[in-house]
């Protein structure tokens, strides 16, 4: 993986808007293991992992006056015992007990003076099982990058040969004065502006070659950008409008093969079936609470990684936001409609300007940025995210990973439903705001019915 020294503008935007705690962007994952990991092996593996993945030993520091995005520097006070913790399972050690334990862990903000991750091993679950609660800030990486980092800490077999190689060296801490931070930030911005100027010069040359086409392209991009940045202060749901700082975690499991086969019946992909199942579940939930709704506003991250060469550790996605109809009762027709909507969202020319727009927002006072970006986020009804996981069994210090559920951040939405595939199953993490989703058991029951409805098409 390639680790940049400085946050991108998109990373920095997620970092900065946390001035409003409702917009926190913490990623949490809960992995269930068939047995407790061996502590000594786990400590050795995580210690090695933090040396191989430099971001796990780095903290974020901002230059004076906010002249550039924060940069990553080695933490001279790194303490593995702070980031890796062991606790006994509460209650009867059920899955419900585990999820209720993970939720308040996810709600807690990060110590910004330390690296932005925390792992908690839960021992003593029912039937001799254990779990790992993984928590990482979204400014560090996105879902795809997070899976890559996690796989670097896992094994492909239960008892691999011990790693007898020398422990990788630690990145040397560096002391940077405020003046040095300011100078480096200004140098970064100078290089950045030169790059923008070169691209603008090239664009201007192309415009002069074909002015009519350039005018149409500019108009289309401007219109697209207007749609993407349009404020949406109120959600469309008549019953999921309240917001709080709390979360509730629930999980759903669905068969990977049958869900893919269902998508194939309409020439779609797994993501089309996934979103159609979620939409069907949300429509049911509103109907059963006596509040049918025509459409809800959805945000969906679109992965812009090319798949070529090394993987960039930071965020490589653009957020698409658009209303989704809730009135299509036929699941096949719903998948087809979702496929068309997602295709239109991916084709929005304004998405290419996400990073420059984030750069502009980052140069504004934090309170202004938070208010502007919050206006785009707090009107979101739900978020869907689809992350491909390991298609082969993996182990953590002797414990076999049985399931792995990811819970994406709400960031102002009522619900975030994240799909993470593993082996032959789809593990769906359901993160809801209790103030918005007041009937969580019914909510998950309706989502489960949505997945069953899609699966039957296979």
Q: What are the residue numbers of the active site?
A: 138
* Beta strands 295-303 and 26-33, pairing class: unpaired
Looking at the DSSP assignment, which residues form a beta bridge with residue 121? 86, 132
DSSP characters over 210-259: -HHHHHHHHHHHHHHHHHHH----S-S-SSS----S--EEEEEEEEHHHH
Q: How many CB atoms lie within 10 A of CB 123?
A: 18
Angle between helices 270-288 and 256-264 (to 10 degrees): 100
Which residues lie closer than 8 Å to 161 by C-beta, 6 or more apart? none
Q: How many CB atoms lie within 10 A of CB 430?
A: 24
Q: Which helix (H) or strand (E) holds 17?
A: none
Is 214 in contact with 207 (CB distance < 8 Å)? yes
Side-chain half-sphere exposure of 414, counting CA atoms within 13 A? 24
DSSP-assigned letter for residue 410: -
Is 133 in contact with 28 (CB distance < 8 Å)? yes
Which residues lie closer than 8 Å to 277 by C-beta, 6 or more apart? 254, 259, 447, 450, 451, 453, 454
Q: Which residues of 61-70 are buried (b: 16+ CB within 10 A; e: fewer)?
A: ebbeebbbbb
* Beta strands 295-303 and 84-88, pairing class: unpaired
Output the six-digit token pair for 4.
Answer: 């940049």
Output the six-digit token pair for 389.
Answer: 């996981």
CA–CA separation, 295 vs 168, rounded Å? 53
DSSP characters over 416-428: EEEEEEETTEEEE
Strands (E), 293-452: 295-303, 317-325, 382-387, 395-396, 399-407, 415-422, 425-432
């Amino acid at each position: 993986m390639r680790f940049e020294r400085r946050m991108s503008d998109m990373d920095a935007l997620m970092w900065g808007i946390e001035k409003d705690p409702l917009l926190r962007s913490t990623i949490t994952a809960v992995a269930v293991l068939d047995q407790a990991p061996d502590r000594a092996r786990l400590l050795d593996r995580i210690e090695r992992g933090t040396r191989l993945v430099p971001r796990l030993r780095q903290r974020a520091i901002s230059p004076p006056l906010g002249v550039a995005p924060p940069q990553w520097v080695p933490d001279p006070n790194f303490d593995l015992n702070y980031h890796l913790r062991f606790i006994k399972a509460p209650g009867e050690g059920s899955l419900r007990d585990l999820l209720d334990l993970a939720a308040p862990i996810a709600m807690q903000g990060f110590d910004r003076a330390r690296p932005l991750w925390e792992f908690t091993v839960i021992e003593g679950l029912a039937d001799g099982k254990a779990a790992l609660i993984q928590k990482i800030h979204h400014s560090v990486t996105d879902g795809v990058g997070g899976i890559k980092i996690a796989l670097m800490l896992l094994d492909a077999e239960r008892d691999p040969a011990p790693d007898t190689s020398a422990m990788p060296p630690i990145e040397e801490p560096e002391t940077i004065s405020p003046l040095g931070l300011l100078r480096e930030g200004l140098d970064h911005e100078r290089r950045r502006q030169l790059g923008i100027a070169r691209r603008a010069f090239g664009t201007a040359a192309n415009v002069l070659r074909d002015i009519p086409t350039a005018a149409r392209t500019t108009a289309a991009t401007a219109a697209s950008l207007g749609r993407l940045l349009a404020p949406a202060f109120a959600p469309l749901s008549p019953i999921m409008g309240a917001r709080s700082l709390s979360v509730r975690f629930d999980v759903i499991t669905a068969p990977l093969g049958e869900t893919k086969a269902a998508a194939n019946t309409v020439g779609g992909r797994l993501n089309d079936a996934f979103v159609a199942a979620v939409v069907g579940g949300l429509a049911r939930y509103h109907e059963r609470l006596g509040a049918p709704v025509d459409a809800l506003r959805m945000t969906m991250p679109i992965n812009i990684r090319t798949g070529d060469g090394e993987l960039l550790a930071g965020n490589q996605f653009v957020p698409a936001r658009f209303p989704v109809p809730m009135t299509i009762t036929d699941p096949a027709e719903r998948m087809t409609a979702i496929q068309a909507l997602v295709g239109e969202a991916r084709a929005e020319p304004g998405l290419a300007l996400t990073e420059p727009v984030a750069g502009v927002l980052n140069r504004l006072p934090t309170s202004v940025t938070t208010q502007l970006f919050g206006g785009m986020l707090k009107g979101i009804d739900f978020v869907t995210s689809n992350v491909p996981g390991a298609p082969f069994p993996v182990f953590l210090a002797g414990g076999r990973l049985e399931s792995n559920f990811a819970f994406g951040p709400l960031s102002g939405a009522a619900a975030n439903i994240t799909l993470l595939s593993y082996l032959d199953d789809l593990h769906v993490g359901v993160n809801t705001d209790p103030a918005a989703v007041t009937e969580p058991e019914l909510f998950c029951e309706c989502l489960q019915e949505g997945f069953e409805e899609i699966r039957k098409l296979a």
